[in-house]
Amino acid sequence: MVDMHCHLDLYEDPFAIAKETVARGVGILSVTTTPKAWAGTKKLEQGLENSIYTALGLHPQLAAQRFDELGLFDAILPTTPFVGEIGLDGGKGFKNSMDIQLKVFRHILSNVHSSGGRVMSIHSRYATEQVLDELKGIDGAPILHWFTGSKRQLRRAIDLGCWFSVGPNMISSKGGAELVRYIPLNRILLETDGPFCKIDGEILMPWDCKKTIDGMIDLLGKSKPDISQLVSDNFTHLKKLVV
Ligand code: MN
């Protein structure tokens, strides 16, 4: 199985974490927050190429400061099937940069579309509706990471072909768990959002994406091995769409 949204480069000793994660039988979609972080983060794949995948990103919370890195983004895009973290953030402190966030997001989506689509890990905090508006008609496989929209928006996202990466915190919240019940089984993936995400004050490690499975057993009415198989098969299927 694969942690589909992890900021591997932001852990204290990312090389060691990468190795330990793979030794525990878990892969990582290693998302980046700026194009400048790409080269260094890509190096963390070394020797672990079939388990660690690096995604090219420009985080919406950094769009205002880093939009001048879009040229670098465009230059790297042809070399990778994975894009993220990208998206929009309409939360406090970020909604006043929405114009520039939209410019950045549209630029990226239009390049992704014209170059045949990508697997994309997408942030949509307090901006679900706008993110879905922008994804309409874009080629590729969008994954909504830590989806927090309404049930109606979830249905809209499913119709648009979105996938969903679910973390331990989403599954342990009442609202999050309720949404997970409505995600089609063939669109569910795991994530941690580490090292930003914590449980009981402890930073989540990439292999903690397995904790999501424990929360899914009752919710989906499936056994632990069946869910592990399901999310692994989903990743294999997703990868085939773009690689
Ligand atoms: Mn993130």
Strands (E), the chain: 2-6, 27-31, 52-55, 82-87, 118-123, 140-145, 163-166, 188-190, 198-199, 202-203
What is the SS3 string spanning 63-84? HHHHHHHHHHHHHHHHHCCEEE
- The pLDDT of residue 242: 83
The share of the chain scoring above pLDDT 90, in percent, equals: 98
Question: What residues pack around ion ligand 1 (CB closer than 5 A)?
Answer: 193
3-state secondary structure of 121: strand
Residue 243 has pLDDT above 80, yes or no: no
State pLDDT tens for residues 19-46.
999 999 999 999 999 999 999 999 999 9
- C-alpha 193 to ligand 1 mean position (Å): 5
Q: Average pLDDT, stretch 217-227?
A: 95
State pLDDT tens for residues 78-89.
999 999 999 999
- The pLDDT of residue 133: 98
Residue 137 Rama label (left phi>0; alpha psi -120 to 50; beta): left
- C-alpha 146 to ligand 1 mean position (Å): 9
Band (pLDDT 50/70/90 cuts) for residue 118 is very high
- C-alpha 165 to ligand 1 mean position (Å): 11
DSSP 56: B
Residue 145 has pLDDT above 80, yes or no: yes
Structure token pair of residue 243: 């690689």
Band (pLDDT 50/70/90 cuts) for residue 225 is very high
Cα 230 from Cα 187, distance rounded (Å): 10
- C-alpha 145 to ligand 1 mean position (Å): 8
Let me know: does 27 contact 51? Beta carbons within 8 Å.
yes
State pLDDT tens for residues 147-179.
999 999 999 999 999 999 999 999 999 999 999
- C-alpha 194 to ligand 1 mean position (Å): 7
Residue 144 has pLDDT above 80, yes or no: yes
Report residue 219: phi and psi, to 5°. Answer: -60, -45
- C-alpha 230 to ligand 1 mean position (Å): 23
What would you report as the CA-atom Rg of the chain, rounded to the nearest whole angstrom?
Answer: 17
- The pLDDT of residue 35: 98
Cα 120 from Cα 31, distance rounded (Å): 10
Cα 6 from Cα 203, distance rounded (Å): 12
- The pLDDT of residue 178: 95
**How high does pLDDT run on average in the chain?**
97
Residue found under tokens 């994406």: 209
